[in-house]
A = this chain, B = another copy of it.
Amino acid sequence: MPWWKVILWLVGLAALFSLGIIVGHFAVPKEADQLAPQDLDQELLEAVMGQLDASRIQENLRELSLKPHMATTLRDENLVQLLLQRWQNPESGLDAAGEGVYEVLLSFPSREQPNTVRVVSSNGTTLFTSQHSETNLTGEQGDPEVVQPYAAYAPAGTPQAVNGAKHGVAGLLVYTDPGDINDNLRFPNETFPHSWALPPSGVERGSYYEHFGDPKTPYFPATPSAFRLENADIQGFPPIPTQPISFEDAQKLLCNLKGSVAPDSWQGALGCDYRLGPGFLDNGHFSQDSEVNVTVHNRLELRNSSNVLGIIRGAVEPDRYVLYGNHRDSWVHGAVDPSSGTAVLLEISRVLGTLVKAGKWRPRRSIVFASWGAEEFGLIGSTEFTEEFFSKLQERGVAYINVDIAVFANATLRAQGTPPAQSVIFTAAKQVPAPGKSGLTVYDNWLQYYNRSSPAHGVIPSLGTLGSGSDYAAFVHFLGITSMDIAYTYDRSKTSARIYPTYHTAFDTFQYVESFLDPGFTSHRAVAQTVVNVLLRLSDSLLLPLNIGDYSETLRSFLQAAQDKLGPLLGQQSIDLGPLVSAVERFERAAAALDQRIETLRKNLSDPLKVRMVNDQLMLLERAFLNTRAFPEKYYYSHVLWAPRTSNVVTFPGLANAYDEAVKTPNDPSAWAKVKKQLSIAAMAVEGAAATLEPVDDL
């Protein structure tokens, strides 16, 4: 070969080799590129929602509500095993599941000596005795495990009097009026099983403990060795014997009272004028000088109550927890409360567990599933859990989703939550078809039932606020974790019932749900779809879908209410709302600027630390509103924005409550000093929260 041919060949070969290098470098992806951050997969999300099966939810509910399963009873323990079995199933279970057991103080009536309300004549003859159980209308009420209606934690005793209020109330009777619960229905042929209304013999059970968590171990997890208060030192139990009765029994007492007629707002639907006493009517069922005797034999008992926990481990950020839970214990069969929620929980965990076990999916963050124990006695299982894992959860908890009663009724979605939860719930609700409303989404349907006008968003569904009605309480108030509660609920144009009528009675059964609340279980499925959508968005999105801007709107409205309703009188006391104004303005600026930075970041999400840093700001915002010294007398309440508010001014609760107190004693400077202190607490919380939203390397 001539030299020029050799060179030509060599050049050609070199070019080919170089081309190979170029192709190899640019066209063949390396492992690092293959790991480029994956965001929420919309197809998977659709698939998951599609796999949620109404009939499986129905079968879950049938099994969960088969027998009464009050906290720590044998059936409650059986359901612990059921949960464990489901979550440890090799095909459809979670990565791991286990039990957390706490030794907690519960309160039970006596089987041997049932609580009784009697009318006793002056010579000691019993003229009337209250029912010890509800009428067996559908079989379930005859189950020997149905607990007698009682007021948990009410002390034992046998007070006897009529209208004892004049000289100090000695005992308390509680009943649910058909006017409040039944849209006035009160006869057997118009109530369950003929309608959803409460039968005359139905009695609402409940806990009468003022705080939440295990009463003997406030702020300690109730492990066997934990420090325990003496029972006598426990604060917050009712001071006097208390007993709930049916409206059938209440009618016999109330419609026979004499005395002046009670105010209009006290009247109800028992078919008589309610009078204030004292004493019974001259021409009534009882002799005039008869008295009411209340005999309560409740006993306090230390019992072992279990939480069941399960986890799907996060693939990328396993140290970020999206928690989703519901309680397991009921008062009786608890088909609605809480088993409707648990039936949904089990269906969601089955669908997600199946994907995980098949190796088809794993979320970015960890998902923790929880079945709490002893909620009915005061949110005990969930509270003990937050005490035991306080640090870990405060550091790593992204959000807590609660679905207690999944379906109160089948009209519309109802959601409660702190403001950062609003947008993700809306987004989810827009992707779920509304049951029974062809062409409408759950969001559209919700908007028709409950809406408000938002300065930022226009007309949107109303997100409720979180009180302490279910297991989210310790998460939001004690831990400061963004929380929400999701359910399907009433058409308020069709009922004014305070809650579904058989609440906490022996008539809350599977048949009740199937016949009246959600035939076909389509509302259950809609709740499951909404929840799983929220759950996946929180656990699988690169950027957390927590819209902190929605806190700006809340704070501005709190401020506006304070200025409008409290401002004038505060001004007279030379108390200036200025610090709160600047704090809220600073928060608004910081939130808006962070939103801007997030929009910029959204264009390039390749740096995992940049994403994590922003997510930490979003996740931890709620924590910044905690102040453990703000409400020292209220166990667990640290969240400066959502603590209980006795005032009807919708503003910072500590400020509003202190103001209400000061108004009662306007000449007491110490009362106004408390207002000033609460004003500082509110302003400090908002300033501190704003500081966490500002650029992380600002001074």
Residues of A within 8 A of B (CB): 13, 16-26, 28, 30, 32-33, 95-98, 219-221, 223, 225-227, 230, 309-311, 313-314, 316-319, 366, 368, 387-392, 395-396, 576, 578-579, 608-609, 612-613, 616-617, 620, 623-624, 628-629, 673, 676-677, 679-681, 683-684, 687-689, 691-692, 696-697, 699
Distance A16 CA – B395 CA, assembled complex (angstroms): 55
Asked if B17 contacts A697 (CB within 8 A), the reply is no
Which of B28, B98, B612 is A609 in contact with, Cβ under 8 Å? B612
Asked if B28 contacts A21 (CB within 8 A), the reply is yes
A16-B17, A96-B699, A608-B609 as given contacts; A687 in contact with B388, CB under 8 Å: yes
Asked if A688 contacts B389 (CB within 8 A), the reply is yes
A387 to chain B: which residues have CB within 8 Å? 684
A679 to chain B: which residues have CB within 8 Å? 227
Asked if A227 contacts B677 (CB within 8 A), the reply is yes
Whole-angstrom distance from the CB of A324 to the nearest CB of chain B?
14
Whole-angstrom distance from the CB of A195 to the nearest CB of chain B?
44
Asked if B680 contacts A395 (CB within 8 A), the reply is no
Asked if B317 contacts A616 (CB within 8 A), the reply is no
A18-B20, A684-B220, A684-B221 as given contacts; A395 in contact with B620, CB under 8 Å: yes
- A30, A617, A699: residue with the most chain B Cβ atoms closer than 10 Å: A699
Distance A176 CA – B122 CA, assembled complex (angstroms): 83
A311-B699, A392-B691, A578-B225 as given contacts; A219 in contact with B613, CB under 8 Å: no
A681 to chain B: which residues have CB within 8 Å? 220, 227
Asked if A225 contacts B98 (CB within 8 A), the reply is no
Asked if B30 contacts A28 (CB within 8 A), the reply is no
A311 to chain B: which residues have CB within 8 Å? 697, 699
- A16, A220, A629, A680: residue with the most chain B Cβ atoms closer than 10 Å: A680
A317 to chain B: which residues have CB within 8 Å? 609, 613
- Name 9 extra pairs, CB < 8 A, besides A388-B687, A391-B624, A609-B609: A219-B629, A313-B697, A317-B613, A319-B697, A387-B684, A389-B688, A389-B691, A392-B692, A395-B692
Which of B97, B225, B673, B689 is A391 in contact with, Cβ under 8 Å? B689
A390 to chain B: which residues have CB within 8 Å? 688
- Closest-by-CB residue of B relative to A611 is B609
A311-B699, A391-B620 as given contacts; A20 in contact with B28, CB under 8 Å: no
Distance A612 CA – B612 CA, assembled complex (angstroms): 9
A17-B19, A688-B391, A692-B392 as given contacts; A314 in contact with B24, CB under 8 Å: no
- Closest-by-CB residue of B relative to A365 is B697
Which of B16, B579, B688 is A16 in contact with, Cβ under 8 Å? B16
Whole-angstrom distance from the CB of A515 to the nearest CB of chain B?
39
Which of B391, B576, B699 is A98 in contact with, Cβ under 8 Å? B699
Asked if B20 contacts A316 (CB within 8 A), the reply is no
A396 to chain B: which residues have CB within 8 Å? 696
Whole-angstrom distance from the CB of A543 to the nearest CB of chain B?
15
- A33, A227, A368: residue with the most chain B Cβ atoms closer than 10 Å: A227
- Closest-by-CB residue of B relative to A227 is B680
A392 to chain B: which residues have CB within 8 Å? 624, 688, 691-692
- Closest-by-CB residue of B relative to A626 is B391
A16 to chain B: which residues have CB within 8 Å? 13, 16-17, 20
Distance A21 CA – B17 CA, assembled complex (angstroms): 8
Whole-angstrom distance from the CB of A635 to the nearest CB of chain B?
10
A677 to chain B: which residues have CB within 8 Å? 227
Asked if A683 contacts B395 (CB within 8 A), the reply is no
Which of B21, B388, B616 is A688 in contact with, Cβ under 8 Å? B388
- Closest-by-CB residue of B relative to A613 is B319
Whole-angstrom distance from the CB of A629 to the nearest CB of chain B?
6
Distance A623 CA – B579 CA, assembled complex (angstroms): 30
Asked if A97 contacts B691 (CB within 8 A), the reply is no
Asked if A616 contacts B319 (CB within 8 A), the reply is yes
Whole-angstrom distance from the CB of A206 to the nearest CB of chain B?
29
Distance A645 CA – B445 CA, assembled complex (angstroms): 62
Sample (10) of A-B pairs whose CB atoms are under 8 Å apart: A20-B24, A24-B24, A24-B28, A32-B33, A220-B680, A316-B609, A389-B691, A392-B691, A396-B696, A612-B612
Distance A689 CA – B23 CA, assembled complex (angstroms): 52
Whole-angstrom distance from the CB of A638 to the nearest CB of chain B?
9
A578-B225, A629-B628, A683-B225 as given contacts; A691 in contact with B319, CB under 8 Å: no
A20 to chain B: which residues have CB within 8 Å? 16-24
